[in-house]
Amino acid sequence: MTVAVAVTVLLLPGMEVVGNPPVLGIAAFALFMALINASIKPVVHMIALPFSVLSFGIVSLIINWLFMRLASWLAISLFDVGVNVRGFWWSVLASIIISIVSGIVSAIVGD
């Protein structure tokens, strides 16, 4: 997850690292993203599934954006380092890039 977030921050101008050193900001954001993705994201997506189907996936994009904002807020407020996502569409692009890079890294490293 940390490698995927680092690549995303390098590629997207809508994501900026907050704090010094930047590696800690990326690591803190990735930590909270991983915790959110493992714990509450599956439950929220299951609850929102009917609304997501009716809205053709828009609700899913909004949930991903909210979880990115939550991870950013937690990292910055708890550790004073993190990654700031500037807007909704930047978070959508970031989600796509993070998914692709995570898949590539998982395929290379293995489980």
Residue pLDDT, tens place only, 10-66: 999 999 999 889 999 999 999 999 999 999 989 998 999 999 899 988 898 899 899
Give the span between the Cα atoms of 57 and 63, in whole angstroms.
10
In sequence order, the 6+-apart residues with CB closer than 8 A to the CB of 81 are 17, 18, 19, 20, 24, 25, 28, 75
Number of Cβ within a 10 Å radius of residue 47: 11
Residue pLDDT, tens place only, 52-105: 899 988 898 899 899 999 999 999 999 999 999 998 999 999 988 998 998 898
